[in-house]
Structure 1
Amino acid sequence: MEEVENAYEWIEKKLVSEPQVMGWQSAFINGLLEADVAPYNGFTYNHINGTKVGGTIFDVGGHRHSAADLLEYANPDMIVVYVNATVHKILFTTEGVQRPKAHGVIYKDGDGVYHKAELAENVMNEVILSAGALGSPQLLMLSGVGPRAHLECHGVNHVVLDHPMVGKGMGDNPMNSVIIPSPLPVELVPPSIVGITEFGSFIEGSSLDVLRQTPSTKSIAHFVQFMNLRLSGMSNSALILQKVDGPVSRGYLELQNTNPDDNPSVTFNYYQEPEDLKKCVKGLDTIIKVLNSKAYSKYKYPDSTPLELLSLMLSLPINLRPRYETAVSNMTQFCIDTVRTIYHYHGGCQVGRVVDKNYKVFGIDSLRVIDGSTFLKSPGTNPQSTVMMLGRYMGQKIIQERVSFVGNHDDDSINRNEANIYLLSSK
């Protein structure tokens, strides 16, 4: 755990800042506390019950930071990054070895030209797959590692390893939200305030320019007329959402074809398990309590009731599911009708199923998967720091393994000057 903490701090040093809490955010904090999402834990990275201020990737100057900033740690003489390069296939040696061994990749550059990149002859060299929860299981399957029957059915003729758990255990934190038009300005800030409930829902909020971020404005215009508000007032809105932490509902990922440029088919089975649905209902009840709180009242039009705000959400094209009239007064149905992704995909190459505790793919040599596809669950807040922490943690661990290996071997099988890692990033 000490190494995990060190890895988080390594990330936070470059990317994370303490946000400035302003008007709307203060009202949201106090509204959560009135809704019994307590205690107030102030600024903290820890996930503990109550209301807190989390870290932000926007610094005091408003500049956004990302994983690219971590390249500042790198020695430019020791790293090469290919941009506009899409990996199409992992290459395996299957003859003369006890089990398949990864030895390189085939990728296509920005001009459509194909290239082969192969590992130098060194027992320590390996390929690391980091294409994400959607890309990593898809790329394994396209390379012949996955459920045999499914691969053969979709045109993958050379099955390297029948691996039935590839693509299984797909999860995503389901999200339901409420848009609240405000008579006062709502500061343009990303979510940094979070209420962590005892029942497993995370309540977050941020500003939202509805007219800019919604694909259709017809239903919004109707709602504006219904609320007797000016169009400009509608664009000054907040969004409060509930997100189920660690959903137990699970799905699967499958190939649609053998084209790596096409998306795979993914089924998350949102709210398939009653436990997740109950958390959503409680989360929405908490949001309504926030809206009815004294602290939040000045950021809500006096005549806008929770019922009207829920009706707005049901009128918006936020997903392709059918709408039921009962959903406006039935929170269970509302959860089902208005669920959408918050882009926290995980699973597909899970630890204990597809990879071992060192993230090495079961049954294959010289291949690891290190990304969110290995997660058994995703954090209640944004998982990006956890993904980056895993990269740092495993990078350190791999270095330690190599030092130990070199110390215990002194033969010609090790070329210390050509110990390479190929990192396959997302498309």
Structure 2
Amino acid sequence: MAGSVDFVVVGGGSAGAVIASRLSEDPDVRVALIEAGDRPPAVELVPAACPVLQADPETDWMLTADAGACGKGLRGGRMMVPRGRMLGGSSGINYMAYVRGHPGDFDAWAAGGADGWSFAEVLPYFRKSEGLVPSEALPLDLPAHGTEGPLGVSVRSPVLPGAQAFVEAAVAAGIPLGDYNGRDRGGPAGVVSLFQTTTKQGRRSSTYHAFLEGEAEQRPNLTVITHAQATRVLLSGEPGALRATGVEYVTAAGTTEVVDAAREVVLSAGAVGSPQLLMLSGVGPRGQLESLGVRCLVDAPEVGRHLKDHLQVGLMHPAPGLGVSMAGVGVALGPDALRAPAGPLPADPADDASLPPELQELKAEAERQLTEWSTTGSGLVSSSLYDAGAWFSTGLGDEHTHDAQIAVFVCGYSVDIWDSCLHVDAAEYFDDPAVDLSPTAENLFVLANPVQPHSEGEVRLASADPLAAPDIRMNYLTDPHDVAVMTAVVRRALDVVDRMRREHEVGDLLVPRRLAETHGHTRGDVPSDELIADLARHYSFTVYHLTSTCRIGSVVDPRLRVLGVGGLRVADASVMPNVVSGNTNAATIMIGEKAAELLAREHGVGLREFVGA
């Protein structure tokens, strides 16, 4: 138990780890960081191990959501909502694409009233975090990047043929090669590149590894409290003069503890956790709270509303020579990944002495590849296999930014991963899962992803019980605009695949049997608009980019202070006025950097470096 400190940060994830680390740079400032999970397991460092982390309650909150107008083909009609439950948070379970967003995203925030959040004003915070390792494989606007920051950013090694083929095909389809994190992401034609990823020497660079691990977590003025689930913010004073004084949390042993905050409480629990904690603390929509028996201290109807997320349709194509097989991934992960019951090696390594020659060779190759990765950072497992992306405008609106993203995942995964991570019964989706998803199958998953959704969801309390999961309502595709954009993005993605076919062996789109029959689609046909829309309503998936549930202007002011409560801020993806046009982790880390500096300036905290005006 930390007792009393200056600042309490709730959530040690993408923003919270940054804030706790930066504030504790001043030895005279006492900081407590509360995290529901623990330090990440060793496998978290392996970039290709994402699916394992997203199906483990030790590292993932294992939430699901009402999918709205989609999810019809998902198990139970529920969308998965992976959220990291460990130090590093979702930066420890994500697919590591380092994407800032279009400069116009931030300029639109500022134009809408978020003073201080224009692209020119946030760029210094992106640069402060970033420790980019330049590569000839990446077109870079170097002045826009940082190379000395703690967050590892690099391109995978080696570059995989499927990712390179995607980039070349996108260029042939009219999307220019460029730096998507540069100061100019191009006009409507957009930009394509291999992904810049949050990796360092082939290992995941989560915010735990970048900002806390080592020196920072050993500081005597930083108390890191793990296995501690925050249950409410303690508020004192009369209505109109409320102030946050501390945080209540439950330990792994089930005891309730309190840590007091002499200066401020900062919620960095994410787009689900932060609004949930506000509502549990009595800050939220009065009618909703009182209906559950929660006393409303601040009637804040916008808390939990305006939920935005990116939704993608995966376009699966057989691609011999371009795709990566699950058998290949297994070998690259080392001998332990090949052990029974799932693999060919015996469960007990002691039995390896009697292996037949072919399995001895397999084990030796697995040891070689794992050693190569662990010593050089190079190898198949040095990325999540989500390795390249393109951004452009469909011409259907949102002219301030790009409204479309296409990415390539150079593996089709296995039946087990389709079930556990995607919530899809492979027997319903594929003609023959044993063939289409066999261990040796080489597939490409091209992901069509509108990135300026108009549909909005909501996070609500399901119960006054602070340990109960919240009620997440995504409302995907409820705005017809999003269906039109999705159709346009899928068409463009299929055009890129057609360009790939001119140089490589890429098979026909694998359309789920039931949908093909409904729409009279025969393999090799060009899918109709109706089929594409139906595919989206049945088999589109979250891109794990939930934002905007405590947005600037509705729940917090531009300095991230909660409206109606003193000494309380929110700093995470929930404060984004609108979702950025791309993967959200980089922008969330930036929010953490900017929040730390806002707090430091107001309270006279001595950061090692200030970069804002």
Q: Indicate how the Cα distance of structure 1 residues 67 and 312 shifts in structure 2: closer, same or farther if over 3 A, else same.
A: farther
Please tell me whether residue 218 in structure 1 is matched to residue 427 in structure 2.
Answer: yes
CA 1:354–1:324 in 2, change beyond 3 Å: closer, same or farther? farther
- Aligned pairs for 1:94-133 within 5 A: 94-95=237-238, 98-120=240-262, 125-133=263-271
The corresponding residue for 1:142 is 280
Kindly provide the amino acid, as one letter, of the partner of residue 431 in structure 2: H
Aligned pair partner of 1:8 in 103, 119, 126: 126
Give the gaps of 5 or more residues in structure 2: 1-118, 132-150, 325-379, 395-402, 420-424, 522-526, 607-613
Task: Please give the alpha-carbon distance, in whole angstroms, between the structure 1 residues aligned to 2:583 and 2:437.
Answer: 34
**Selected match of 2:199 from 44, 58, 81:** 58
Q: Give, as a single letter, the amino acid of the residue that structure 1 aligns with 2:253.
A: D
Structural RMSD (CA): 2.7
Q: Choose the corresponding residue for 1:169, options 303, 306, 315.
A: 306
C-alpha contact (below 8 Å) 1:42/1:53 kept by paired residues? no
SS at match of 2:560: coil
Partner of 2:211: 70
After the TM superposition, which of the residue ranges 70-79 and 204-213 deviates more from structure 2? 70-79
Residue correspondence of structure 1 range 4-403 to structure 2 within 5 A: 4-13=122-131, 14-20=151-157, 21-36=159-174, 38-41=175-178, 44-45=181-182, 47-48=185-186, 49-60=190-201, 62-68=202-208, 69-71=210-212, 74=216, 76-95=219-238, 98-120=240-262, 125-156=263-294, 158-184=295-321, 186-187=323-324, 189-190=383-384, 191-199=386-394, 200-208=403-411, 209-215=413-419, 216-219=425-428, 222-223=431-432, 231-234=438-441, 236-294=442-500, 298-301=504-507, 305-306=508-509, 309-311=510-512, 325=519, 329=528, 330=530, 331-403=532-604
Q: Which amino acid aligns with 1:270?
A: Y
**Rounded Cα–Cα distance in structure 2 between residues aligned with 1:313 and 1:387:** 39
* Deviations 1:296-350, CA, capped at 9 Å, x for gaps: 652423xxx23xx1236959xxxxxxx9647963222322222221110012111
Cα distance in 2 for partners of 1:152, 1:70 equals 40
AA aligned to 1:373 is S
Q: What's the counterpart of residue 418 of structure 1? A: none
Q: Unpaired segments of 5 or more residues in structure 1?
A: 316-322, 407-427
Q: Give the deviation of 1:277 after TM superposition.
A: 1.4
Q: Which moved more, 1:288-297 or 1:200-209?
A: 288-297
1:182 Cα deviation from its structure 2 partner: 2.1
Question: Percent identity among equivalent residues?
Answer: 25
Contact 1:168 1:348 in 2 (8 A): yes
Total equivalences in the alignment: 382
Q: Give the distance between the partners of 1:313 and 1:27, measured in 2 at CA.
A: 31
1:396 deviates by 1.2
SS of alignment partner, residue 555 of structure 2? coil
Cα distance change of structure 1 residues 186 and 88 upon mapping to structure 2, 3 Å threshold: same
- Take 1:296 and 1:232, find their aligned partners in 2: how far apart are those partners? 27
Q: Which amino acid aligns with 1:175?
A: Q
Deviations 1:239-286 (A, max 9, x none): 111111121111222111012222211222212222221111011101
C-alpha distance 367-231 of structure 1, shift in aligned 2 (>3 A)? closer
| Matched residue type, 1:12 | E
Is the Cα contact below 8 Å between 1:223 and 1:312 reproduced in 2? no
Change (3 A) 1:98 1:178: closer
Provide the TM-score with structure 1 as the length reference. Answer: 0.82
TM-score by length of 2: 0.58
> Which residue does 1:410 correspond to in 2?
none
Q: Distance in 2 between matches of 1:33 and 1:210?
A: 30
What amino acid is the match of 1:290?
A: V
Give the deviation of 1:139 after TM superposition.
Answer: 0.8
Deviation of 1:41 after TM superposition, in Å, equals 1.2
The answer on whether the counterparts of 1:179 and 1:313 sit within 8 Å (CA) in structure 2 is no
Give 1:150 deviation, angstroms.
0.7
SS in 2 for 1:180: strand
